[in-house]
């Protein structure tokens, strides 16, 4: 079945609200990976700084629902709230996104207490920037990866959905390792736990894979999903 081009386009768009250190790092990383980014901040100087690096960058009061609707924020599938120092604005903005029924909302928290509040009002993912760097979150926000850990020496492990070309085949015949240079460490079937992968493990639709390898290579396989 062919996917809906309009739906695909909507999924590839992310609104990033608050272009401080975390928000700007995330927005630029997303933009560099081909994701259309709408960046919003209340500070005109900050917006001017990143205007040439993002798809769109605007000055706006993100606590105003009418302003947010005029910007089309309510039509996005993915949103990130990177507001840090103004806790009231962070909470109100996140609540507005919840009211808009945006399916995936990521919100930056400056403390665990702040994070608990964001979770209670409906944020789907709470990020503590000292633990979650912009590049890692960028991978997760795009939806291609379910988790991403990068180590030193350009090595990474990712949790991602099984690529179509591997479905229905034992791992030894799908040739993910010889073709892309990645190792499938584990496989998780819906409703089951992870199991170690072998050359005889057959990959099914909806399986989740743990991949290990060079960063660019595991990203390439994740992009196939």
Q: What is the mean pLDDT of residues 7-24?
A: 78
Q: What is the largest CA-CA distance in the chain?
A: 57
What is the structure's pLDDT at 158? 80
Q: What is the mean pLDDT of residues 28-46?
A: 91
Q: How far, in Å, CA of 23 to CA of 118, rounded?
A: 17
> Residue 223 has what DSSP assignment?
T
| Whether residue 105 has pLDDT greater than 50 | yes
| Whether residue 141 has pLDDT greater than 80 | no
For every residue of 119-155, DSSP letters joined together read HHHT-SEEE-TTTS-HHHHHHHHTTS-SEEEEETTTE
What is the structure's pLDDT at 201? 85
| Whether residue 18 has pLDDT greater than 80 | yes
Q: How far, in Å, CA of 160 to CA of 139, rounded?
A: 11
Q: pLDDT tens digits for 74-87?
A: 999 999 999 977 88
Structure confidence at residue 119 as a pLDDT band (50, 70, 90): very high
| Whether residue 143 has pLDDT greater than 60 | no
Strand segments (E) across 78-216: 78-81, 104-108, 125-127, 147-151, 155-161, 183-188, 194-196, 208-214
Q: pLDDT tens digits for 162-202?
A: 888 888 888 888 888 888 888 888 888 888 878 888 888 88
Compute the mean pLDDT over every residue in the chain, rounded to the nearest whole number. 83
| Whether residue 155 has pLDDT greater than 80 | no
* Cα→Cα distances 24→42, 83, 84, 135, 178, Å: 13, 11, 12, 11, 37
Q: What is the mean pLDDT of residues 59-82?
A: 96
Q: How far, in Å, CA of 127 to CA of 135, rounded?
A: 12
Crossing angle for the helix pair 112-121 and 87-99, nearest 10 degrees?
A: 20
| Whether residue 151 has pLDDT greater than 70 | no
Tell me the sheet residues that pair with 216: none
Instruction: Give this prediction's pTM.
Output: 0.61
């Amino acid at each position: 079945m062919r996917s809906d081009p309009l739906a695909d386009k909507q999924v590839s768009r992310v609104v990033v609200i608050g272009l401080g250190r975390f928000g700007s790092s995330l927005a630029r990383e997303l933009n560099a990976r081909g994701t259309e980014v709408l960046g919003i901040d209340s500070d005109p100087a900050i917006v001017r700084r990143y205007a040439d690096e993002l798809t769109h960058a605007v000055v706006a009061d993100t606590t105003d629902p009418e302003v947010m609707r005029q910007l089309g924020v309510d039509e996005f599938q993915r949103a990130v709230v990177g507001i840090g120092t103004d806790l009231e604005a962070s909470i109100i903005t996140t609540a507005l996104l919840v009211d808009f029924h945006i399916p995936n909302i990521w919100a930056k928290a400056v403390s665990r207490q702040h994070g608990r509040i964001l979770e209670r009002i409906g944020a789907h993912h709470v990020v503590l920037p000292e633990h979650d760097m912009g590049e890692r979150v960028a991978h997760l926000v795009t939806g291609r990866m379910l988790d991403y850990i990068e180590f030193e020496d350009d090595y990474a492990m990712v949790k991602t959905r099984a690529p179509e070309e591997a479905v229905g085949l034992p791992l030894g015949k799908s040739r993910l390792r010889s073709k892309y240079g990645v190792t499938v460490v584990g496989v998780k079937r819906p409703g089951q736990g992870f199991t170690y992968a072998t050359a005889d493990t057959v990959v099914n639709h909806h399986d989740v894979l743990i991949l290990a390898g060079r960063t660019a290579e595991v990203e390439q396989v994740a992009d196939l999903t």
